[in-house]
C-alpha cells in the first residue's frame, strides 16, 4: 500500500468508527499500536507507563470518534494526542520530583543498568549495555519538545511539516528544534565515537 | 554552492543530506560540495554517528503485553457503562469541536477567579468580625479559648488558602496553556480533539 493510500485508509477507517463500526477501530489499533507504544517508550523510557499512556491515547481516539473530521493526516492527529500525553506525564513527573526534592543520580525514567547474563560474550554485552545506557541518558536529558521532535524525525520518519502539525509550531521551528537536539546529542555522545575508533 | 556550515540556518540542510532526504539535484550539488569541504565532512560524520547511535535504541525488542487490546476494550466497555452526565462531561473535552470546551473552560476559570477574589476580599472582614465577637464574648469562656485568639489564627488560614488556590490556579493555567498550544494553530481533525 502506498503512503497516500495508507493515509486515506486510516481516515476512512476512522470515519467508519465514527459511523459505529467498532471493527474498524480494531484495525486502526492493529496498525498504530506498536508505533504509538514505541514512541511513548522512547519518550519516557518505561514500558509499563508507555503502555498505560498508549491505552489512554487510543481511548481518546475512540472518545473523539463522533466528531472526527479528516482534515489532516490521521497520524498527525494521533501523534498530537500521544505527544500531549507523554509531555504531560513528563511534566507531572518533574513537578512531583521537585515537590519531593528527590535527587537521584540517574535521570528519572532511565532504565537501570542491567547486568548481562553470564555467557561467552559477557564483556561485549556489558559494553553494549553501558553504551545503550549512555544513549538513553542523552535522549532523556534533551528538552521535552526537542526529544519529541527527534523521536518523530528519526523513528517515525515524519517530515518537518507533519512534526510541525503534531507540535503545533512552524516548520522552521521544527528545523531549529531538531538542529539543536542533534547538536546536543553530538556533544554528549561524541565520546562513543572516539571509543569505537580507538 | 555555499557551505551550509557557514550559516546556522542552512546547516539544517545537512540533516536532510545525511538522511538522503533532499531533492536529487540538491543532493548531487551537496555530494560535490562535501567532497571538497572538510567542515561539512566532519559534521556529517558526527551526524551519522548520532544516527547510528540512535539506531541502537531499538524499541522493537519491547514485548508489548499480550492483553493490551483486552485491557483497552475493557476500559472502553467501562466507559459505556458510565452515567450519561459523566460521558457528556468527558465528551466536552474529548470533542472534535474546540469551541465546545473553550468557552466553558474559560468561563469556569473566570468564575473560579471571581469566587476566589470575593472569598479573599471578604475573609479579613470575617476574621475581624470573628475577633470582635471573641472580644465581646463573656469572660466565662474557658481559658483555652482565650489563649487561642482569632488574631493569631487568621494569617495562618489566609496563607493556607492562598497557597492551595494559587497552586490550583497555576495548574489550571498550565493545562489551559498546553491545550491552547496543541489545539491553537493546527488544522487537524478537531485540532485538540481528545485532549
SS3 content of chain A, % helix, strand, coil (to 5): 75, 0, 25
CB contact under 8 A, A77 and B189: yes
Count CB-CB contacts under 10 A for residue A59.
18
Q: Which residue does chain B place closest to A175, by CA atoms?
A: B12
Residue with cell 473523539: A64
- Residue B46 touches partner A, C-beta closer than 8 Å: yes
pLDDT at A177: 92
Computed over every residue of chain A, the mean pLDDT equals: 84
Tell me what the mean pLDDT of segment B6-28 comes to: 78
Q: Which residue does chain B place closest to A177, by CA atoms?
A: B12
Residues of chain A with pLDDT under 70: 1-7, 101-120, 193-198
Residue with cell 512534526: A163
* Residues of chain B with C-beta less than 8 angstroms from the C-beta of A33: 64, 68-69
Handedness of CA B101, B104, B110, B111 (dihedral sign): negative
* Residues of chain A with C-beta less than 8 angstroms from the C-beta of B15: 175, 178-179, 182
pLDDT at B75: 93
The per-residue pLDDT for range B159-173, each reduced to its tens digit, is: 555 666 777 777 788
The answer to whether A109 and A140 are in contact (CB under 8 A) is yes
Q: How far separated are the first and last CA of chain A, in Å rounded?
A: 45
Residue B187 is nearest to which of A26, A61, A71, comparing CB atoms?
A: A71
The cell for A134 is 549512555
The cell for B112 is 473560579
Give the C-alpha separation, A189 to A174, whole Å. Answer: 22
Q: Which residue has the higher pLDDT, B66 or A113?
A: B66
pLDDT at B86: 75
Q: What is the ipTM of this complex?
A: 0.76
- Residue B126 touches partner A, C-beta closer than 8 Å: no
Residue A165 is nearest to which of B65, B186, B190, comparing CB atoms?
A: B186
- Residue B195 touches partner A, C-beta closer than 8 Å: yes
Global confidence as pTM: 0.66
Give the C-alpha separation, A165 to A171, whole Å. Answer: 9
The answer to whether A150 and B19 are in contact (CB under 8 A) is no
- Band of the pLDDT at B113, cuts 50, 70, 90? confident
The domain spans of chain B are 4-57, 84-184
The answer for residues whose C-beta is within 8 angstroms of residue B183's C-beta and 6 or more apart is: A168, B98, B191, B192, B195
Reduce the DSSP state of residue A85 to 3 states and report it: helix
Give the C-alpha separation, A102 to A111, whole Å. Answer: 17
Reduce the DSSP state of residue A104 to 3 states and report it: coil
Residue-range domains of chain A with CATH: 1-103 (1.10.1740.10)
Query: Pick from A73, A77, A108, A89: which is nearest to A40 by CA?
Result: A89
Of the residues B53, B67, B75, the best mutation for testing chain A's interface (the one with the most A CB atoms within 10 Å of its CB) is B53
The answer to whether A13 and A28 are in contact (CB under 8 A) is yes
DSSP A1: -
Least confident of A54-68, A142-156, B31-45, B116-130: B116-130
The cell for B157 is 488560614
Task: State the virtual CA torsion across A79, B15, B44, A83 in degrees, nearest 10.
Answer: -20
The answer for residues whose C-beta is within 8 angstroms of residue B64's C-beta and 6 or more apart is: A33, A34, A37, A51
Residue B15 is nearest to which of A155, A178, A192, comparing CB atoms?
A: A178
Computed over every residue of chain B, the mean pLDDT equals: 71
The per-residue pLDDT for range A44-84, each reduced to its tens digit, is: 989 999 999 999 999 999 988 888 888 788 999 999 999 99
Residue A67 is nearest to which of B8, B49, B190, comparing CB atoms?
A: B190
Amino acid at each position: 500500500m502506498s503512503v497516500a493510500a495508507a493515509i486515506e485508509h486510516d481516515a476512512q477507517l476512522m470515519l467508519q468508527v465514527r459511523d459505529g463500526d467498532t471493527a474498524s477501530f480494531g484495525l486502526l489499533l492493529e496498525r498504530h499500536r506498536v508505533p504509538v507504544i514505541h514512541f511513548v517508550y522512547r519518550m519516557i523510557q518505561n514500558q509499563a507507563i508507555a503502555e498505560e499512556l498508549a491505552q489512554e491515547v487510543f481511548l481518546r481516539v475512540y472518545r473523539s470518534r463522533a466528531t472526527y473530521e479528516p482534515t489532516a493526516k490521521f497520524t498527525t492527529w494521533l501523534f498530537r494526542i500521544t505527544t500531549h500525553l507523554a509531555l504531560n506525564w513528563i511534566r507531572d513527573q518533574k513537578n512531583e520530583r521537585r515537590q519531593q526534592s528527590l535527587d537521584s543520580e540517574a535521570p528519572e525514567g532511565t532504565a537501570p543498568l542491567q547486568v548481562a547474563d553470564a555467557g561467552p560474550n559477557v564483556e561485549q554485552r556489558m559494553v553494549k549495555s553501558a553504551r545503550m545506557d549512555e544513549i538513553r541518558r542523552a535522549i532523556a536529558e534533551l528538552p521535552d519538545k526537542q526529544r519529541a521532535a527527534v523521536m518523530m524525525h528519526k523513528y517515525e520518519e515524519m517530515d518537518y511539516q507533519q512534526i510541525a502539525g503534531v507540535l503545533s509550531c512552524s516548520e522552521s521551528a521544527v528545523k531549529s528544534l531538531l538542529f539543536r537536539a542533534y547538536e546536543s546529542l553530538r556533544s554528549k555522545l561524541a565520546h562513543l565515537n572516539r571509543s569505537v575508533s580507538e | 554552492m555555499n557551505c551550509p556550515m557557514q550559516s546556522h540556518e542552512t546547516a539544517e540542510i545537512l540533516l536532510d543530506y545525511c538522511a538522503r532526504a533532499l531533492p536529487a539535484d540538491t543532493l548531487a550539488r551537496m555530494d560535490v560540495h562535501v567532497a571538497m569541504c572538510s567542515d561539512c565532512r566532519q559534521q556529517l560524520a558526527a551526524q551519522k554517528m548520532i544516527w547510528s547511535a540512535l539506531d541502537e535504541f531499538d524499541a522493537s525488542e519491547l514485548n508489548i503485553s499480550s492483553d493490551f487490546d483486552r485491557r483497552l476494550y475493557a476500559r472502553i466497555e467501562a466507559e459505556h457503562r458510565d452515567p450519561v452526565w459523566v460521558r457528556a462531561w468527558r465528551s466536552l473535552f474529548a470533542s472534535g469541536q474546540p469551541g465546545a470546551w473553550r468557552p466553558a473552560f474559560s468561563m469556569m476559570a473566570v468564575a473560579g477567579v471571581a469566587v476566589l477574589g470575593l472569598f479573599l476580599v471578604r475573609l479579613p472582614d470575617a476574621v475581624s468580625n470573628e475577633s470582635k465577637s471573641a472580644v465581646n464574648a463573656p469572660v466565662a469562656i474557658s481559658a483555652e479559648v482565650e489563649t487561642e485568639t482569632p488574631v493569631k489564627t487568621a494569617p495562618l488560614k489566609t496563607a493556607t488558602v492562598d497557597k492551595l488556590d494559587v497552586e490550583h490556579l497555576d495548574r489550571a493555567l498550565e493545562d489551559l496553556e498546553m491545550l491552547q498550544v496543541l489545539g491553537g494553530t493546527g488544522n487537524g481533525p478537531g485540532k485538540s480533539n481528545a485532549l
